[in-house]
A and B are shown apart, each in its own frame.
Chain A
């Protein structure tokens, strides 16, 4: 199944100032957020996410918006739900809190409470499933997984593999095998890899996840690494170059495929074409 691409850069092109909280736009500019969601549905996404990646109470606190956590998440799910109609499913996004459990910056109880609040609001807003993404720490993703499971919705648990010599570990050193095994036994309905690197490196990661679990595998790589051209940040990887890996990813066992940072609706169109061939 085809998922979606990046949201943050799309919102910026619609006027979100750099450094502002993207998730707050669910309340301030729901029309523009819906425009992004709709662009992905129109491009052929069968699953769209929500503009709630940074909307846990702990992340929102950095913008002084913690008390709006429930409203922001609920609105985020409702916006994607409206854009999806009966053309796509809504998998609501939960991202990391940016706090390290092992350094005592946050307690397990605080994490669990923040994720529960977020997950319940996403479910109330009409999400079909929840996707926990861009995680690097097994402790944090398991706290989010338990909170998301409590809604009764299916849950995708996805980590970012970008560290170590071979770029096959998460920041915290977790391997694809460890991720797949631990998340499978913790009750995930799908496991995956997103962000962190381009699509080429994720083919092997996908194979390794595939081999370590019987669950479906979810893959959302970046559109390569950003480069600076005439003062502008650009991703040089074209939708076609990205999509050229789609058949290999399918063969590697991916059940869900989309893009992360730097990808756009054109990437989804290119993926759809590549997979239809």
Chain B
């Protein structure tokens, strides 16, 4: 394939049709999927994150870039799995019990997936038990909790307490986010990290697991 930079550009520009076509061509040419991912696709999402943080991009651009990334990722996934390449981390993500809002959670999930993480999306109104199950049965090493309402923020605390009681708090890093959530709150409830935006969540997740 003549120019993989075009795949990078397609993702940054949010051009899903092109990113999918280029990923398909690359697989037909038997290019190394791991190299494709590490050298073009993840760097493209990093650039998207950078533009978001510098206010060149806002949520719409972030979403269409994540969609272009996802389309390309789906094409290369079978080959990627065949090489035995592992995702850099497994994130069990959900909006906490009592809270039905999912826009923020979906944004963070899309950006984490674009950043090379495997996502176990538990949805909304997620009980502590479900988070515990995702850690025990699916091997999640990061638990990401979202809440939009001040009234449901305490469910974050409960979830962390129950991870503790289940004896698996040490196996996972817990990160939290959502409109009313602050770093101070994260510190108070013993979360490992907090981000106030979807792009920062990727940086945080990498930092938490030393990736």
Residues on A close to B: CB < 8 A?
Answer: 8-9, 12, 18-19, 62-63, 98, 100, 102-103, 136, 162-165, 169, 171-173, 196, 225-228, 231, 233, 261-262
Contacts and interface: CB of A to CB of B under 8 A. Distances in A.
Interface residues of B, number: 33
Contacts of B102: 98
A136 B59 CA distance: 10
Given A228-B153, A228-B189, A98 B60 contact: no
22 contacts: A8-B149, A8-B151, A9-B150, A18-B151, A19-B98, A19-B100, A62-B124, A100-B103, A102-B60, A102-B64, A103-B67, A164-B55, A169-B55, A173-B58, A173-B61, A225-B182, A227-B185, A228-B153, A228-B184, A228-B188, A231-B157, A233-B150
B63 interface: yes
B161 to A, nearest CB: 11
Contacts of B150: 9, 226, 233, 261-262
The 8 closest A-B pairs by CB, nearest first: A173-B58, A19-B98, A226-B150, A62-B100, A18-B98, A18-B151, A233-B150, A226-B180
B200 to A, nearest CB: 12
Nearest to B54: A165
Contacts of B124: 62
B113 interface: no
A119 B110 CA distance: 34
Residues of A contacting B: mostly: loop
B34 interface: no
Contacts of A19: 97-100, 125, 151-152
B5 to A, nearest CB: 27
Given A18-B98, A19-B97, A102 B63 contact: yes
A169 B184 CA distance: 24
A228 B60 contact: no
Interface of B: 54-55, 58-61, 63-64, 67, 97-103, 124-125, 149-155, 157, 179-180, 182, 184-185, 188-189
Contacts of B153: 226, 228, 233
Given A100-B103, A262-B150, A173 B188 contact: no
Nearest to A262: B150
A165 B58 CA distance: 11
A18 B55 CA distance: 35
A140 B103 CA distance: 14
B55 A227 contact: no
A162 B180 CA distance: 11
Given A19-B97, A228-B189, A163 B58 contact: yes
A170 to B, nearest CB: 8
A164 B184 CA distance: 21
Contacts of B189: 228
A172 B179 contact: no
Contacts of A196: 179
Nearest to B100: A62
B94 to A, nearest CB: 14
A100 B63 contact: yes
